[in-house]
Structure 1
């Protein structure tokens, strides 16, 4: 302990800095300065390694056998086997990159809505926004017979936004609460699911099979033609989402606390809903519904980083990307769409989450 000697008095002891149990890594440049928790950096690095490892393993899977060594040579040696390079770069690499993109987008959307509702069950899968996007794409594909990416993206966005408006309108009677929002969202989701099923049984078998194949959630047939516009749209949405990383955690403390810090609660909620639905629409239009990633990824990330909010942009996106890349590798081994794997694993996670929530309240 050190002491300071004032001009004309006794020494005043200095209190040591308080240790809150978190270690930070600080960085400082002439223009920027900041710090980030060391645990978060370690978790992000570990998740990046999982994505890299699972992605490289996925490049070896398929009807055309390519060994791990051949994949490495195809990536780094332009003079390697041209057939292997074609398989790796033109057929399999877009699938891995799309898995990363879809996982990051779904996880970020889940983090937004879970922070907005202050409830781990408040993901777009549960409150119906994902089903609304799926219903919009079904109408565009089956009823309007428009099967391009632009039209499907428009249908997903409009369907998701209209569903969000309907859920908020029904849940706002008598005051909006997270519990009421989730219950109303489950009801609206069930209704839209029934309408989707009714549409599918009233059309031809060919159209129904096309919609059912898309509805299973698959990234097997996606290439760089779909990846480039999807990545561009995701980059734009991500930039628009960055201000929410600071505002939503403050909004979790209540509207009064947010207003005291100069945050417009209504405008922040509106922006969060639009951007969250846009992320869901981006994935739904390209790959179909990939369920439960938006529910599980923010909670897993929050537990790994020991964060106070599910709205942690980088770790949340890396967690979602890792889940989808690993799930897609399992899907290739089982020869099923990736959506089937995420539904199977996500259902188990949802049951555990509901049991944990009930035990906490009991």
Structure 2
């Protein structure tokens, strides 16, 4: 079965839609702006629902009073536990959604995401080397090793795919192969370690918001503040890349630079997510596709809408994991993995039906 799907380049450039905001003109649409705003509002409502339905429920007015320092009665529940976790979910989800949007536009394939190009597998292998081989126990140090492993994996994919006539298609194939190789390395490291070490490593590899605190919020917030504008700027260039390498080059796009910059920004966004919450799967894969269908621009990268959708998916998954199973507070990665697996099966079956 071919991995090419309905993100293959269109025959002509879609007409740009310009949203006027006073003296500024933004390449967007009113529909896209409204969808993005609605997604962001839904994510915030889910945050309030999460805070208001836990073992120590806090209603929205009490949350606002606590945040605005009108009362300190709920400081522990809101400021120390609930709000940092919610903010990390919002920021990490946004970063993963934006990263997936860039990679899917670059590869012209809905399978393009950090999960597929090998970053997540590289991050897992790097973290396991740190924990099981070097004896690293600090969460931040483990995340640094994970980011290094993911970065090396992404660099290998870029180097092996550069110079190809269809770079995006080759990125997918090389990423799948490298990811399988790195997964086997991770499995070997787990089987060679003790039971306790394996359990601790597996807990980290799932991806969790359970221990999120304000330093994690700062890391994720600063990373998003720096990288999201770059992702939006690259989205405009990728709109031309979707026409195909020859047409994009003729229109003045430097394909090598755009490819390298897109991979770098996507990997950096994923690295920020790993640093704040560990590797969380499938959000980057599903968010851009869902956002594009709502916005109505299935052949164009919708970076901001994808970021909002990523926040919604991650906050909703966290609500399900923390509330739907009684006293068990499941890591959010378990929920996204389960939902993402169903989504991936649907995506592949849909592609198979299209090719029949």
TM range (shorter): 0.7 to 0.9
The C-alpha deviation readout for 1:233-276, integer Å capped at 9, x for no partner, is: 23222233332021111111122222222221001101111111
Corresponding residue number in structure 2 for 1:40 = 32
Say yes or no: does 1:232 pair with 2:226: no
Matches of 2:309 and 2:297 in 1, distance apart?
Answer: 14
Distance 1:249 1:152 in 2: 36
Offset at residue 77 of structure 1 (A)? 6.2
CA distance in 1, matches of 2:17, 2:242: 24
Q: In 2, distance between residues paired with 1:59 and 1:292?
A: 25
Q: Say whether 1:56 aligns with 2:48.
A: yes
1:117 matched to which residue of 2?
107
Which range moves more in the overlay, 277-286 or 176-185? 176-185
**2:299 maps to 1:305:** no
Pairwise CA distance, 1:293: 0.4
Deviation at 1:284, TM superposition (A): 1.7
Give the one of 226, 233, 237 matched to 1:247.
237
1:340 corresponds to which residue? 334
What displacement does 1:162 show? 2.0
Q: Which residue of 2 aligns with 1:351?
A: 345
| Structure 1 equivalent of residue 121 of structure 2 | 131
CA distance in 1, matches of 2:342, 2:300: 20
SS in structure 2 of the partner of residue 107 of structure 1: helix
C-alpha separation in 2, matches of 1:326 and 1:293? 11
What's the secondary structure of 2:20's corresponding residue?
strand
Q: Distance in 2 between matches of 1:132 and 1:274?
A: 15
Contact 1:133 1:280 in 2 (8 A): no
2:7 aligned residue:
none
Does 2:316 match 1:326? yes
The alpha carbon displacement at 1:311 in A equals 1.9
Which has the higher Rg, Structure 1 or Structure 2? 1
Question: Contact 1:137–1:285 at 8 Å: present in 2 too?
Answer: no
Q: Tell me the C-alpha RMSD between the 2 structures.
A: 2.5
Residues 111 and 310 in structure 1, CA contact (< 8 A), matched pair in contact too: no
Q: CA 1:242–1:120 in structure 2 vs 1: closer, same or farther (change >3 Å)?
A: same
Q: 183, 187, 200: which is aligned to 2:190?
A: 200
TM-score (norm: length of structure 2): 0.87
Equivalent positions of 1:286-305 (< 5 A) are 286-305=276-295
**How many residues in Structure 1 have an aligned counterpart in Structure 2?**
339
Matched, 1:71 2:63: yes
Q: 1:236 to 1:27 in 2, by over 3 A?
A: closer
Aligned partner (choices 179, 183, 192) of residue 189 of structure 1: 179
Distance 1:34 1:337, change over 3 A: closer
SS at match of 1:26: strand
Q: From the superposition, tell whether residues 321 and 181 of structure 1 become closer, same or farther in structure 2 (CA, over 3 Å).
A: same
Cα distance in 2 for residues equivalent to 1:73 and 1:231: 23
C-alpha separation in 2, matches of 1:283 and 1:33: 31
CA apart distance, 1:40: 0.9
Could you tell me the TM-score, scaled by structure 1's length? 0.85
Mark the runs of 5 or more structure 2 residues left unpaired by the alignment: 1-13
Q: Distance in 1 between matches of 2:28 and 2:239?
A: 16
Please list, as runs of the form range in 1=range in 2, the aligned pairs for 1:134-173 lying within 5 A after superposition: 134-148=124-138, 150-170=140-160
Deviations 1:170-195 (A, max 9, x none): 55697545444323322221221121
SS of match in other structure, 1:109: helix
**Distance in 2, Cα, partners of 1:174 & 1:267:** 14
In structure 1, what is the equivalent of residue 9 of structure 2?
A: none
Match runs of 1:80-95 below 5 Å: 82-95=72-85
Structure 1: distance between partners of 2:265 and 2:191: 33
Contact 2:99–2:270 (CA<8 Å) still a contact in 1?
yes
CA distance 1:144–1:21, change in 2 (3 Å): closer
After superposition, the Cα gap between the structure-2 partners of 1:61 and 1:45, relative to the gap in structure 1 and judged at 3 Å, is same
